Amino acid sequence: MTDSRTQATTTVRRAGAAEQPFHYPLKREFVEPDWRRLPGFRDATRTEWESALWQRKHTIKSLKELKEALGRLLPDTLLAGIERDQKDRATMSLLVPPQMLNTMNLEDLWNDPVRRYMLPAYDDREPEWPSHPKAQRDSLHEADMWAVEGLTHRYPTKVLAEVLSTCPQYCGHCTRMDLVGNDVPQVEKHRFEVPQKTRYEQILDYLRRTPQVRDVVVSGGDVANLPIAVLENFVSQLMDVPNIKDIRLATKGLMGLPQHFLQDDVLKGLERLAKKAHERGVDLAVHTHVNHAQSLTPLVAKAVRRILDMGFRDVRNQGVLLRGVNNSAEALLELCFTLLDHAGIMPYYFYLCDMIPNAEHWRLAVHEAQGLQHDIMGYLPGFATPRLVCDVPFVGKRWINQVKEYDRDKGISYWTKNYRTGIEPDDPEALTRRYEYYDPIYTLPESGQAYWRAWRARS
Ligand code: SF4
């Protein structure tokens, strides 16, 4: 006689690791790529490579230096494309530390994700619509919202302090292309008018008399380009402002030039800040900007470890969604797992690339980002699942699914907000108005593209 209970037990399916669209564990090895594969740096010693001074001295600033560094590995077509781009399209000048160059796939530079945004070529750009007609230099109107020069007061309780306008590396898609970096043929940069010392005093003074603000992002540019004594002095004074409870230091240099954060004087300065933050009950964190898993190496992890060990609250990543760089669930998940498993960095945000001039080929449509948000859910711990956000002009960050209305044909999304920015104290419609954001035109259906062509003809 068959025992029905036994029968039931033997047919129960046990749960297990199912086949998934994204495969974990990661396949990529976490190693420092050998810099001796770069013809121009073949003779660099480990001591030189790990020296911030050496890295800065050998940072690529021109096509000539790029050619010297890459030699025969740089296809002539790519060199010509970058040259034409610098002349006709680029909004940022060339600036790539050897550390970043060494994370590129030298076998296929044309298609390398890091090359695509650090060394853009003319051929990469969108031919018909290199810029969206609504693109603007300061697309987020950060300077319009300066409470004092360099201090953007957009959100109710947090501010952005732009403490300098340079970085150790210049990213092609930089949202602050209006202010950051050197002039290029297409863009004459704006410059701070108030001398640095006075600017910092004005920022601190504003924060002392504005108790509504509790949170300061200290950015630029990149704080890795501020002498550590200057950074320490400014951040230390911020901590003396009783209402300031959160301070985040923004640096892509932590990834692009980790050697900077491994220097004794920098470590000592940061350590003193971490100690003071602890004593004052201030949360001090670092925010970095990594767009691809390739960029994370053991040297980056070492610098992060030192920062965390000295008592920083966290190191978080704010990447940018860029077509051809990281616009797949696989690329985003690989990056996030590498951040978590190897680098000790918390995935935090991915922003849509902002609507600056000549950025269309990088930008994603809102619905593409919504698809990516969907596709990355469930893999990472909830606290480390990054939010995909759209930084809507005159609004601020909105989660990508918070769109109020969306005209997919014309690629216009409509957003609302629940607070007034610093420039709307008397605007009765600030909280009821709908604010627009635009998808790249080449992603629209033919009818939507025709709308914009007609719009352009009328303008
Ligand atoms: S590091 Fe940040 S501020 Fe500097 S160029 Fe890149 S995106 Fe712009």
Enumerate the domain spans of the chain. 35-124, 146-458
Confidence of residue 425 (pLDDT cuts 50, 70, 90): confident
Fold assignment, 146-458: TIM Barrel (3.20.20)
Identify the residue whose C-alpha is closest to ligand 1 atom 5: 170
| Contact (CB, 8 A) for 353 and 177 | no
Nearest to 249 by CA among 266, 279, 32, 240: 266
Identify the residue whose C-alpha is closest to ligand 1 atom 8: 174
pLDDT digits (tens, 9 = 90+) for 29-65: 999 999 999 999 999 999 999 999 999 999 999 999 9
Q: What is the pLDDT of residue 12?
A: 77
| Contact (CB, 8 A) for 350 and 332 | yes
Q: If you measure from the C-alpha of residue 52 to the centroid of ligand 1, how many angstroms do you get, rounded to a whole number?
A: 18
Confidence of residue 422 (pLDDT cuts 50, 70, 90): confident
pLDDT digits (tens, 9 = 90+) for 149-183: 999 999 999 999 999 999 999 999 999 999 999 99
Structure tokens at 7: 């029968």
| Contact (CB, 8 A) for 373 and 366 | no
Ligand 1 atom nearest the C-alpha of 181 is: 5
Nearest to 438 by CA among 358, 328, 364, 369: 364
User: What span, in angstroms and rounded, lies between the C-alpha atoms of 333 and 26?
Assistant: 10
Range 67-77 average pLDDT:
98
Q: If you measure from the C-alpha of residue 453 to the centroid of ligand 1, how many angstroms do you get, rounded to a whole number?
A: 32
Instruction: Give the mutation target among 167, 255, 349 for probing the ligand 1 site: most ligand atoms within 8 A of CB.
Output: 167
Residue 18 has pLDDT above 70, yes or no: yes
pLDDT digits (tens, 9 = 90+) for 321-360: 999 999 999 999 999 999 999 999 999 999 999 999 999 9
Range 302-319 average pLDDT:
98
Instruction: Give the mutation target among 59, 218, 252 for probing the ligand 1 site: most ligand atoms within 8 A of CB.
Output: 252
| Contact (CB, 8 A) for 303 and 264 | no
| Contact (CB, 8 A) for 206 and 151 | yes
Q: What is the pLDDT of residue 13?
A: 82
Give the residues surrounding ligand 1 with Cβ less than 6 Å away. 167, 169-171, 174, 176, 180, 220-222, 252, 289
Report the 10 Å Cβ neighbour count for 447.
Answer: 9
Range 270-299 average pLDDT:
98
| Contact (CB, 8 A) for 171 and 100 | no
Q: If you measure from the C-alpha of residue 451 to the centroid of ligand 1, how many angstroms do you get, rounded to a whole number?
A: 34
Q: What is the pLDDT of residue 9?
A: 55
Query: Which helix (H) or strand (E) element contains residue 284?
Result: strand 283-288
Residues paired with 221 in a beta bridge: none
Amino acid type, 302? K
- Tell the residue number behind the tokens 């300065």, with chain if given: 269
User: What span, in angstroms and rounded, lies between the C-alpha atoms of 419 and 430?
Assistant: 8
Instruction: Give the mutation target among 174, 179, 325, 354 for probing the ligand 1 site: most ligand atoms within 8 A of CB.
Output: 174
Q: If you measure from the C-alpha of residue 80 to the centroid of ligand 1, how many angstroms do you get, rounded to a whole number?
A: 24
Range 190-204 average pLDDT:
97
Ligand 1 atom nearest the C-alpha of 221 is: 3
Residue 5 has pLDDT above 70, yes or no: no
Torsion sign (Cα): 75, 79, 81, 82: positive
| Average predicted confidence (pLDDT) for the chain | 96
Nearest to 217 by CA among 155, 293, 304, 278: 155
Residue 1 has pLDDT above 50, yes or no: no
Identify the residue whose C-alpha is closest to ligand 1 atom 7: 174
pLDDT digits (tens, 9 = 90+) for 214-230: 999 999 999 999 999 99
